[in-house]
Structure 1
C-alpha cells in the first residue's frame, strides 16, 4: 500500500522512492521524442502542398546549404550574383554538422538522408540530456516538463529537418550537464563541439567559463587548472572557425560579410527587432508576423522571470547571451523563433511551474502546448512561403 509520504513525494516529484528505474526514464523520454517527431512529420504531410513530400519540407531552406557543404566542401572565394552583388555561400555554416553528414554518408546513405539521420539521433540525445539536466537542477517532474517544452516548442520542427539545431541542442545540454557534474574534460570537449556547430556556441562557451569560475572556491588546484583549461578550449572554437573562414576567403571578416550579404544577419543591438515589433504592433496584417512578435516578447519576459528566480548561473549566462544574440541581430524576422529553440532559460519558468503541479495538470497542459507547437512549425515549413 502506498503511504501518505510516498504519495506526497510522487505528487511533487522532489523526494521519496523512485517508481521507475533510470532505464525506464530513458525509455519514456525516447518514446516521447519519437512520438512528438512522428506527430510533427504527420502534420507536415497533412499540410504539404500538392506535389510536395514530407522529405521536401524536411530538406528545405538551410538544409540544402548543409548538404552542399557536406558534399562539396567550403568555397574558397566570395560568391556574386549575375549583377556582381555579393551573396551568401557555404562559409556561413559552421563545420561540425556538415562533417557529421559526410561521415554518416559513408554508411551508404545519400547526403540528404544522412542529414536527417544525424538530426534525429542528435535530437534524441538532446532530449535525454535535457531530462537529466532538468532533473539534476530541480527534480524529475521538472526534468520531464523541461524536455517536452523544449522538443515541442513552436519551431521544434527543426529537430525533424536537415538543420543543426538538434546537434547543437544535444551538445549544449550535454556540456551544461557535464559542467554541473564538474566533469571538466567532457565539458570542454562538448563545449568545443558546440562552438563549431553554430554561432551561438559562443554563448555556450561563456556559460562554461562561468561554471569553471563558480567552482573555483571549492576546487583543488588541479581541478582549477582542468576546469579553466577545458573552458578555454571550448571558447577557442568560435574564433577558430571565424579566423579559418577569413583565411580561406582571404579577408579577415569574410564570415560576417557573407552572413550579412546572404541573410542580413548583422548585429545591430536590437534596432531591427525593435523596428519590427513597433511596425507589427501598429500595422501588422499577417498572423505569422504577429505571432513571431509575441513569441519574441514572451521570450524576453520569460527570461526576466527566470532570472528573478535565480537559477543556476551558467544556465542564466547561456540563456541571456543567446537571447541577446537572437534579439540583437537583424535578418529575417520569421527565422527568430527557430533561433530561440536552444534558449533553455526562457522555458524554465514554465518547466518549474509544471514541476510543482499534479500530473493531471501537467499532461493536458503539455499536450495542448505540443499540439500548437507541432502544428506551428509544420505550417511554417509547408504553407508559409518564406525561409525559417
Structure 2
C-alpha cells in the first residue's frame, strides 16, 4: 500500500460508494420490478379471494399466526405465555427481538398500528433482500441469472410470507447483504449484518456460521486481516446474546431458550420427529398443506445437492445454505412451516435460475408462468383455506 493511498481522506471511500450503490440499483431495477410485480399480483389475488369470502386482506397479512405474537411483543414487551389444556406452554420468548423492536420504533415515529408497521417493514425488507440477492447472483453468474434468481425467489409457493408481517424478509435482507459483504471482503459490514440477522430469527445463526467460517478460512490462507477477525467475532453476537438473555431470564443460562422452544415442540432431534410425522402422514388422509411441505422440503434437499455438486458456490454461500437446510430438515415441530424456514435459503434457487437463464425464452416463460400460478394459488390456500400455521 502506497503512502498516497494512506494519505487519501477516508471520506473519499464514502463519496465513491454512493455512485456504485446507484449503479447497482440501476442494474437491479429490472429484477426488482419483476419481483414487485410478482408479489403485488400475489397480494391482489389474495385480496380478491378474501373480499369474496368476506375477510379482510390486511388482517390476513398483518395478524395471521406469528404476526400476532410479534405485534403483541412490539406493543407490550415480552411476558405473554399461553397454557394449553394438554400441558403445552408457549412463551413469547421464542420470538427474537429485532423485528418487534423495529415495529415498536415505527409506531413511535408514525401514526400507524403495529400491524401496518409490520407490513411496511416486511415490504421494505423484501425489496432490500431482492436487491442483495440480485447482486450476489450477478457477481456469481452475471445479470441474466441474477434477474431470474430474484424472480424465482418472489414466486416460491410460500412467497406470500414475503408480504406478511413476518420476519423472513428482514432476516433474508440482512443475510443477503452480509453474504455480499463477505464476497466483496467488507468484513466489518458482514459481521455487523450477521449479528443483526441473529437477532431476527433462530435460524439467523446460519449467516453467523457463514461469516465465521469464511473469515477463518481467509485468515488461514493469509488473505484476511484484522477486519476479518473482527467480523468473525461480531457475527454470532446477536444470536448468542438473545439466547443468553432468555436463559438468564429463565434461570438456566445455556438451556433456557431451548426449553422455551421445546414448549413449542420445536427442537433439533436429527429428523426423528419429522420422520415420524411423515410416516403417520403417509399412512392415512392428510391435509394438502402437509403434503406440499413434504414436497417443497424434498425439493430443497435436491436443490442443495445440485448447488453443492454442480454449481459449487463460494464457501460462505454454501455454509449459509447448508445450515438453513440442516436446521429445517433435521428439526422437529410445525412440519407445515418447513417451507417457510427455507425462504431465506435463496441460494437453493441458483441451479434453476442458471438453467432458466440459458434456456429458450419460450421454455423459461412456461416454467415461470406455472410457478406463478402455483405461488398465487397456494398463497390463497395457505391464508384462507388451510387449517394450519404457515
TM range (shorter): 0.7 to 0.9
Q: 2:193 maps to what in 1?
A: 190
Q: 1:12 maps to what in 2?
A: none
Instruction: Check if 1:316 corresponds to 2:318.
Output: yes
Change in CA separation of 1:86 and 1:30 when aligned onto 2, cut-off 3 Å? same
Which structure would you say has the larger RCO, counting Cα contacts within 8 Å and 6 or more residues apart? Answer: 1
Mapping for residues 35-184 of structure 1, pairs under 5 Å = 35-48=37-50, 50-59=53-62, 60-75=64-79, 79=81, 81=83, 85-105=87-107, 106-184=109-187
Q: Deviations over 1:56-75 (max 9, x none)?
A: 21021000000011111112
> Which moves more between the two structures, 336-345 or 109-118?
336-345
Cα offset, 1:329, TM superposition: 1.2
2:343 aligned to 319, 341, 344, which one? Answer: 341
Alignment partners' CA distance in 1, 2:116 and 2:348: 32
Q: 1:16 maps to what in 2?
A: none
| Count of aligned pairs between the two proteins | 363
What is the SS of the residue equivalent to 1:88?
strand
Q: 1:3 maps to what in 2?
A: none
TM-score with structure 1 length normalisation? 0.88
Alignment partners' CA distance in 1, 2:301 and 2:25: 36
Change in CA separation of 1:84 and 1:333 when aligned onto 2, cut-off 3 Å? closer
Cα offset, 1:341, TM superposition: 0.6
Cα offset, 1:125, TM superposition: 0.4
Q: Given that residues 134 and 140 in structure 1 are in contact (C-alpha distance below 8 angstroms), is that contact kept between their aligned partners in structure 2? A: yes
Alignment partners' CA distance in 2, 1:110 and 1:365: 39
Alignment partners' CA distance in 2, 1:334 and 1:211: 32
What is the SS of the residue equivalent to 2:110?
coil
Alignment partners' CA distance in 1, 2:86 and 2:387: 27
TM-score with structure 2 length normalisation? 0.88
What is the SS of the residue equivalent to 1:98?
helix
Cα offset, 1:353, TM superposition: 1.1
Q: 2:375 maps to what in 1?
A: 373
Q: Given that residues 95 and 196 in structure 1 are in contact (C-alpha distance below 8 angstroms), is that contact kept between their aligned partners in structure 2? A: yes
Ranges in structure 2 where 5+ consecutive residues have no aligned partner: 1-22
Q: Given that residues 356 and 364 in structure 2 are in contact (C-alpha distance below 8 angstroms), is that contact kept between their aligned partners in structure 1? A: yes
Q: 1:241 maps to what in 2?
A: 242
Alignment partners' CA distance in 2, 1:272 and 1:347: 27
Instruction: Check if 1:204 corresponds to 2:207.
Output: yes
Alignment partners' CA distance in 2, 1:284 and 1:177: 44
Q: 2:265 maps to what in 1?
A: 264
Cα offset, 1:365, TM superposition: 2.1
What is the SS of the residue equivalent to 1:215?
helix
Alignment partners' CA distance in 2, 1:385 and 1:351: 33
RMSD: 2.0
Alignment partners' CA distance in 2, 1:55 and 1:353: 37
Alignment partners' CA distance in 2, 1:96 and 1:317: 23
Ranges in structure 1 where 5+ consecutive residues have no aligned partner: 1-20
Q: Given that residues 119 and 165 in structure 2 are in contact (C-alpha distance below 8 angstroms), is that contact kept between their aligned partners in structure 1? A: yes
Cα offset, 1:219, TM superposition: 4.8
Q: Deviations over 1:256-280 (max 9, x none)?
A: 222221x311111101222233333
Cα offset, 1:40, TM superposition: 1.3
Cα offset, 1:120, TM superposition: 0.3
> Which moves more between the two structures, 363-372 or 32-41?
363-372
Cα offset, 1:212, TM superposition: 1.3
What is the SS of the residue equivalent to 2:208?
helix
What is the SS of the residue equivalent to 1:200?
helix
Alignment partners' CA distance in 2, 1:365 and 1:264: 37
